[in-house]
Chains A and B, each alone.
Chain A
Amino acid sequence: MAAVFLASAVEFVEAFTVVLAMGITRGWRATLWGAAAAIGVLALVTAVAGYALVEWLPESAIQLAVGTLLLIFGLQWLRNAILRSAGVTALHDEEAAFLEEQEAARVAAGEHHLGLDWFGFVVSFKAVLLEGLEVVFIVITFGLNADSIPLAAAGAGAACAVVLTTGALVHRPLSRVPENTIKFAVGLLLATGTFWAVEGLGVFSETQESLDWPGGDWAILPLLATWAGVSLLTVRALSRTNAPLATEAA
């Protein structure tokens, strides 16, 4: 639930930044219709994908497929968070992203379809759909593995409520959210997909039953600690080699 909440919050902040920029510069009507249309598509995708996965595949195959996808997906976050923490790549700046989107919206032509400003509608639709798709993916993968899609969906819903309420109150991009720290935590939590992916290898055994970790479900804790320790050591190693390069460049 914590992993779903944090990961969803990051995605909602990114979508909120684009929707806010569009709403302010192109008007709220088309922007909100775009966001609503995307939410409708997302609801349909969630229902179809969740049902298909549960109905068609044996448990160990789901663990392997979902665990592998979760792991690969989460390792992207972890990789980017490590590289940003070590100063190898730049931090993501929501304030800069907001200004960039706002400028693009200002110079775009005013084409209208169905009585809506088309630029505002399409940009809002795409932002909510793409960021929302990541939330759906996290909800389905975590929900299936934890055997409770409703609980995972509740985590995402709570994140949405927190981001929207905070955003509505401050009415500006949530640039003070310590995004890389959250992404680091989420990357670590998603990396626990290792647990399910390895369990799911049991699908290749004669019985097709899931493999057992030593210590059962408790193995997730040392696994998480291992990912955290190894990630911090990697950040330290990269930071050490980064310092002389930065001095040379200066």
Chain B
Amino acid sequence: MRYLKAFARFWFDFLVGEDWRIAAGVVAVLGAGGLLVSADALPETLLVLLVAAAIVLVVVASVLRSAPALRRAPARRPPP
């Protein structure tokens, strides 16, 4: 069980990294995009641009949100 946890932890750190909100936001946006595609709700070009813009916004919002907390955090070894 300990090894399983360590294995899961490794892959989480490897793929998701320090800010899980970016990964969660990207997956949520793509999930919503998938629903719109399956419902054939929007013209393809509009949908492609909308999903891409939403991904960019999610990332910027997440970085801006996490910065104040990082500034207050004590100095530590920087991430790789």
Cβ–Cβ contact A201 & B51, under 8 A: yes
Which listed residue, A68, A89, A93, A241, touches B27 by the CB 8 Å rule?
Answer: A68
Which listed residue, B15, B30, B35, B71, touches A242 by the CB 8 Å rule?
Answer: B71
Q: How far is the CB of B73 from chain A (nearest CB, A)?
A: 9
Task: Evaluate whether A79 and B19 lie within 8 angstroms (CB atoms) in the complex, with A88-B71, A198-B48 already known.
Answer: yes
Residues of A near B17 (CB, < 8 A) are 72-73, 76, 79
Which listed residue, A75, A133, A241, touches B59 by the CB 8 Å rule?
Answer: A75
Q: How many residues of A contact B (CB 8 A)?
A: 48
Cβ–Cβ contact B67 & A75, under 8 A: no
Cβ–Cβ contact A86 & B67, under 8 A: yes
Task: Evaluate whether A223 and B26 lie within 8 angstroms (CB atoms) in the complex, with A88-B67, A202-B37 already known.
Answer: no
Residues of B near A69 (CB, < 8 A) are 15
Q: How far is the CB of A108 from chain B (nearest CB, A)?
A: 19
Q: Restricting to A81-96, which residues have a CB under 8 Å from any CB of B?
A: 82-84, 86, 88-93
- Cβ of A238 within 8 Å of any chain B Cβ, yes or no, is yes
Q: How far is the CB of B25 from chain A (nearest CB, A)?
A: 9
Cβ–Cβ contact A204 & B37, under 8 A: yes
CA distance A134 to B30 in the complex (A): 24
- Cβ of A80 within 8 Å of any chain B Cβ, yes or no, is yes
Q: How far is the CB of B69 from chain A (nearest CB, A)?
A: 10
Which listed residue, B15, B44, B63, B70, touches A234 by the CB 8 Å rule?
Answer: B63
Task: Evaluate whether A204 and B26 lie within 8 angstroms (CB atoms) in the complex, with A198-B51, A234-B63 already known.
Answer: no
Interface membership of chain A positions 90-118, coded 1 if the CB is closer than 8 angstroms to chain B and 0 otherwise: 11110000000000000000000000000
Residues of A near B26 (CB, < 8 A) are 68, 71-72, 75, 197
Q: How far is the CB of A219 from chain B (nearest CB, A)?
A: 8
Residues of B near A159 (CB, < 8 A) are none
Residue of B16, B44, B79, B80 with most chain A CB atoms under a 10 A cut-off = B80
- Cβ of A124 within 8 Å of any chain B Cβ, yes or no, is no
Residues of A near B66 (CB, < 8 A) are 79, 83
Q: How far is the CB of B12 from chain A (nearest CB, A)?
A: 11
- Cβ of A226 within 8 Å of any chain B Cβ, yes or no, is yes
- Cβ of B75 within 8 Å of any chain A Cβ, yes or no, is yes
Cβ–Cβ contact A211 & B56, under 8 A: no
Which listed residue, A72, A84, A134, A212, touches B22 by the CB 8 Å rule?
Answer: A72
CB closest residue in chain B, given A212: B44
Cβ–Cβ contact B59 & A90, under 8 A: no
6 tightest A-B CB contacts, nearest first? A76-B17, A204-B34, A204-B37, A204-B38, A72-B23, A90-B78
In the complex, besides A92-B80, A206-B40, A238-B64, 14 extra interface pairs with C-beta distance below 8 angstroms are: A75-B22, A76-B22, A79-B18, A79-B22, A79-B66, A90-B78, A91-B78, A198-B48, A204-B34, A204-B35, A204-B37, A211-B44, A212-B45, A213-B48
| B interface residues, Cβ below 8 angstroms from A | 14-19, 22-23, 26-27, 30, 33-35, 37-38, 40, 44-45, 47-49, 51-52, 55-56, 59-60, 62-64, 66-67, 70-71, 75, 78-80
